[in-house]
Amino acid sequence: ITQHIGAYQVEHTPKGSKEAHKITFLDTPGHEAFTAMRARGAQVTDIAIIVVAADEGVKPTTIEAINHAKDAGVPILVALNKMDREGADPDRVKGELAAQDLQPEEWGGKIPVVPCSAKTKQGIEDLLDSLVLISEMNELKANPNRTAVATVIESHLDPSHGSLATVVINTGTLRAGDIYVCGTTSGKVRSMIDAHGKRLDSVSPSGAVRVSGFTRVPKVGDILQVVSSEQEARTLVEAVKEQQEQSKKRRFVDLVSRLSEGKLTQLKVVLKADTQGSLEAVKDALIKQSSAEVSVKVIHAAVGAVSESDVMMAAASEGVVIAFTVPVPISVQKTAEREGVEVRKYDVVYTLLDDVEGLVKGLVEPVEEEKIYGHVEIRAIFLTKKSEQIVGGKVTDGVIKRLSFRVQRDGTEVGTGRITFLKHGEKDIKEAKEGTECGMRVETTIPIQEGDIIEVYLRELKRKEGK
């Protein structure tokens, strides 16, 4: 069934409980979709199930899946499949898992390993029980009573129905007729179809449906966000386009800059080499390039040519790909350019290590500094709408800009927010000086009241001197 929309939801009541839980399984092709979502800022997966055949053990593809799940920072559960087969050897497989730093619970570790068989259904109830337990321990909850936010997990152009996308609801409830923004496109939900082909009027958190109503095909990993009007949708689309254009300019030199400014204290590397011997030697040498303040972390290492999956993992992790005496196919180079990932090719190990040393040397953790720009006394409230307000006030000191602020009421901080627009009369302005009056559109965690004081500030990361 998952082949139709890429996701399937089941209801399960654990042993000893009367409460039914909904569990959504995502069936992504390979790891590309998973990393594409993370590269675009989406964390749609709450728990990763690593399926290992009990008669085959841990394979290179298994190791890659494990590394993806580790780097995503999600809880991991291992499904030990094919336990019905004659050659099943669970203890051997557990040893191989432990070698990948997945220590089974039975061996004193934290990783649940559930023996099961998709063929005979052995252990499936135990697997579902474990998923519910992990979700409860990690307090995986969402609010259905808000505007919906969802993530695209599959998309395509259908000759009969136009642009379609399968989405998983992260929070809120998605309804037919909702206006939304999704990546660089907007639209209105025309229909929602579940894994059984049933048309739905609404979908609650963790639900997965195929949505129609897109003006063009969205990308896997794009965030679908419901908005209040078509005007708001158009404004947000333009903002997303500008943001994406800026992110396309992110290249290796930008990564170097952020490292040198102390904004990153870890250089993440996806490493590919021609032989297992070369791979281990280069990996060990890279790790030794770490300094006391900046570490080099090899998040994935494998033998063979650089793949799109390697590039997407680097994109999701803000890392780089290092190819040691292996090819980089043209299609992969194009993906790297599109995602803003630098793929560095080397034939000599000393050149490779010199480059990495240049990145790491002298970089230290930044110091956060705060600058107070000024204060505004609120004298009028013009509009209050959810988390957004339009207010007016007088600048009592300093200079007010489109920055973050604290809300002070009777000398006590009661909330925070950010100024998104500044006006003086009908004129848009970039700043308001002491003694002047201004109108502001703000996003805030608490409704601002007349008499409140807004303290505008900016926090910056300053680089300390290297050792």
Across 125-134, 152-161, 263-272, 363-372, the highest mean pLDDT is recorded for 125-134
For 123, other C-beta atoms within 10 Å of its C-beta total 19
* Residue 300, Cβ density class (10 Å: 0-12 exposed, 13-18 middle, ≥19 buried): buried
The reply to whether 40 falls in a domain is: yes
Residue 258, both tokens: 């952020």
Q: Which of 85, 115, 137 marks a domain boundary? A: 137
What domain range includes position 411? 367-462
For the four alpha carbons of 324, 329, 330 and 333, in that order, the dihedral sign comes to negative
Predicted local distance difference test score (pLDDT) of residue 281: 84
pLDDT at 433: 94
Quick check: is 172 in a domain?
Answer: yes
Cα distance between the two ends of the chain: 58
pLDDT at 1: 31
Q: Tell me how far CA of residue 201 lies from CA of 174, 175, 178, 259, in angstroms.
A: 8, 6, 11, 48
- Helices (H), ranges, 73-226: 90-99, 124-137
Residues 22 and 86 placed together within one structural domain of the fold: yes
Give the single-character DSSP code of 191.
Answer: E
125 with 41, same domain: the answer is: yes
CATH of the domain at 226: 2.40.30.10
Is 246 part of any domain?
no
Q: Is the pLDDT of residue 4 over 70?
A: no
27 and 61 assigned to the same domain: yes
State whether 233 and 177 are in the same domain. Answer: yes
**Does 350 share its domain with 416?**
no
> Over the stretch 108-146, which tens digit does the pLDDT of each residue have?
999 999 999 999 999 999 999 999 999 989 888 888 999
State whether 158 and 113 are in the same domain. no
269 located within any domain: yes
Tell me if 321 sits within 8 A of 342, measured CB to CB. Answer: yes
* pTM higher than 0.85: no
Question: Of 122-131, 162-171, 183-192, 216-225, where does mean pLDDT reach its minimum?
Answer: 216-225
User: What CATH number should be reported for the domain holding residue 7?
Assistant: 3.40.50.300
| CA pseudo-torsion sign 221, 224, 225, 231 | positive
At 362 the pLDDT is 42
Question: What number is the average pLDDT over the span 197-223?
Answer: 89
Residue 464 has pLDDT above 50, yes or no: no
Phi and psi at residue 9, in whole multiples of 5°? Answer: -115, 135
In a domain, 192, yes or no: yes
Report the SS3 class of residue 73.
coil
pLDDT range class, residue 254, cuts 50, 70, 90: low
More confident residue, 211 or 162: 211
Mean pLDDT taken over the chain: 84
Same domain, 356 and 371: no
**pLDDT(40) > 70:** no
At 99 the pLDDT is 94
Share of the chain above pLDDT 70, in %: 86
Q: At what angle do helices 60-72 and 32-39 cross, to 10 degrees?
A: 20
Number of domains, the chain: 4
Phi and psi of 371, rounded to 5°? -120, 125
Each residue's pLDDT tens digit, 314-342: 888 888 899 998 998 988 888 888 788 88
Q: Average of pLDDT values for 4-31?
A: 78
pLDDT class of 260 with cuts at 50, 70, 90: low
Do 73 and 158 share a structural domain? no
Same domain, 34 and 121: yes
**Phi, psi dihedrals of residue 378, rounded to the nearest 5°:** -80, 125
Which residues pair with residue 444 across a beta bridge? Answer: 417
Determine contact, residues 299/69, Cβ cutoff 8 Å: no
Pair 126, 49 in one domain:
yes
| pLDDT tens profile 435-447 | 999 999 998 888 8
Between 53 and 291, the more confident residue is 53
pLDDT confidence band for 220 (50 / 70 / 90): confident
Residue 28, pLDDT > 60, answer no
Q: What is the CATH number of the domain that holds 256?
A: 3.40.50.10050
On whether both 371 and 354 belong to a single domain, the answer is no
Is 143 part of a structural domain of the chain?
Answer: no
- Is residue 304 a part of any domain in this protein? yes
Determine the average pLDDT of the residues in 147-159: 87
Percentage of the chain lying above the pLDDT 90 cut: 39
Do 397 and 296 lie in one domain? The reply is no
Strands 113-115 and 149-158: unpaired
Q: Model confidence at 56, in pLDDT bands (50, 70, 90)?
A: very high
Report yes or no on 443 lying in a domain.
Answer: yes
Q: Are 197 and 220 in contact (CB under 8 A)?
A: no
Whether pLDDT at 465 is above 80: no
The whole-angstrom separation of Cα 319 and Cα 402 is 31
Residue after which a domain boundary falls, among 360, 393, 423: 360
- Rounded Cα distance between 113 and 99, Å, is 14
Instruction: Average the pLDDT over each of 171-175, 301-305, 429-433, 461-465 and give the range with the smallest value.
Output: 461-465
Q: What is the mean pLDDT of residues 366-393?
A: 85
Instruction: Indicate the residue among 103, 137, 171 that finishes a domain.
Output: 137
| pLDDT at residue number 2 | 35
Structure confidence at residue 319 (pLDDT): 86
